[in-house]
Amino acid sequence: GESVGLHLPTLSVQEGDNSIINCAYSNSASDYFIWYKQESGKGPQFIIDIRSNMDKRQGQRVTVLLNKTVKHLSLQIAATQPGDSAVYFCAENRFNNNDMRFGAGTRLTVKP
């Protein structure tokens, strides 16, 4: 079946380094992608989104890249800080579809 998955379940980086979290999706009909950050004991927090008519979008210290050819999504975090330690989920959605599908998540640990 179609799914959204992540390449790596865990990622450990040094404080100040850049982090890259990857996500693969298989549904070519997906046209909207979102990255969420979930800290322990909290709900997912919206970070950044991108629509399928774009291949890059930048926010504050974060960049999302979308490669529709290989159905790949990535989240880049610049100058990673200890407060970035969390589980990061990518999610896909289709226009006017209510079934937002989440991957299993990548746990990012930032070492001081």
Partner 1 sequence: NAGVMQNPRHLVRRRGQEARLRCSPMKGHSHVYWYRQLPEEGLKFMVYLQKENIIDESGMPKERFSAEFPKEGPSILRIQQVVRGDSAAYFCASSPPGLAGWAQYFGPGTRLTVL
Contact footprint for partner 1 (CB under 8 A): 32, 34, 36, 42-46, 49, 89, 91, 93-105
CB of 104 to partner 1, least distance (A): 5
Closer residue to partner 1 (CB): 19 or 89:
89
Pull the structure tokens for residue 94: 């289709």
Residue 41, CA distances (Å) to 35, 44, 61, 84, 108 in order: 18, 10, 24, 15, 15
CB of 49 to partner 1, least distance (A): 7
CB of 30 to partner 1, least distance (A): 11
CB of 110 to partner 1, least distance (A): 19
| Residue 88, amino acid | Y
* Backbone torsion region of residue 96, taken as left when φ is above 0, otherwise alpha when ψ lies between -120 and 50, otherwise beta: left
Closer residue to partner 1 (CB): 86 or 91:
91
Closer residue to partner 1 (CB): 46 or 82:
46
Q: Which residues contact 73 (CB under 8 A, 6 or more apart)?
A: 22, 23, 24, 25, 33, 35, 50, 64, 65, 66, 67, 90
Closer residue to partner 1 (CB): 3 or 67:
3
